[in-house]
């Protein structure tokens, strides 16, 4: 089963497959099962705030500690950054996944021609 996430206005939605491989365009990264569950929640709500307790549900037997989510997010941020995905902290609210737009080749060429480069 392949799950596609992202907003329609953005090129190159992120895809999380059944093997916990997160793909975007030609780039990919392998995720641990808990990281995949966290990313799945964030991708389903891309651009909207997700509360810490919603992310804590990624652990099958309950979150092991108060700061376990923070530890996983630190690793996850570094792992997904090359895909143009960024997890931002919204103080006293939760977290937001930002999906950077990806320029396709045609758009990049058109912008180059317009700029006269």
Q: Residue 86's domain is classified under what CATH number?
A: 1.10.10.10
Residue 93 is predicted with a pLDDT of 95
Strand 85-90 and strand 94-99: the pairing is: antiparallel
Whole-angstrom distance, CA of residue 102 vs CA of residue 94: 26
State the chain's maximal CA–CA distance in angstroms: 58
Contact at 8 Å (CB) between 97 and 45?
yes
Residue numbers of the domain that contains 74: 2-115
Q: Closest Cα to residue 24, out of 12, 11, 35? A: 12
Q: Quick one: pLDDT at residue 46?
A: 86
Alpha helices in 1-117 (DSSP H): 33-44, 52-56, 68-80, 105-115
Q: What is the pLDDT of residue 100?
A: 84
- pLDDT value at position 13? 85
pLDDT for position 97:
95
How many domains is the chain partitioned into structurally? 1
* pLDDT tens, residue order, the chain (117 aa): 555 554 433 346 899 999 999 999 889 999 999 999 999 999 999 889 999 999 999 999 888 988 999 999 999 999 999 999 999 999 999 999 998 886 554 444 444 455 555
Q: What is the pTM of this model?
A: 0.76
């Amino acid at each position: 089963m392949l799950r596609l996430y992202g907003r329609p206005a953005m090129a190159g939605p992120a895809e999380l497959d059944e093997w916990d491989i997160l793909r975007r365009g030609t780039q990919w990264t392998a995720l641990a099962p808990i990281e995949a569950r966290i990313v799945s929640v964030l991708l389903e709500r891309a651009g909207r705030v997700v509360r810490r307790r919603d992310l804590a549900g990624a652990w099958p037997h309950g979150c092991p500690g108060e700061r376990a989510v923070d530890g996983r997010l630190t690793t996850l941020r570094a792992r997904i950054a090359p895909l143009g995905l960024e997890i931002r902290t919204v103080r006293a609210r939760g977290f937001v996944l930002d999906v950077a737009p990806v320029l396709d080749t045609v758009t990049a060429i058109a912008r180059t021609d317009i700029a006269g480069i």
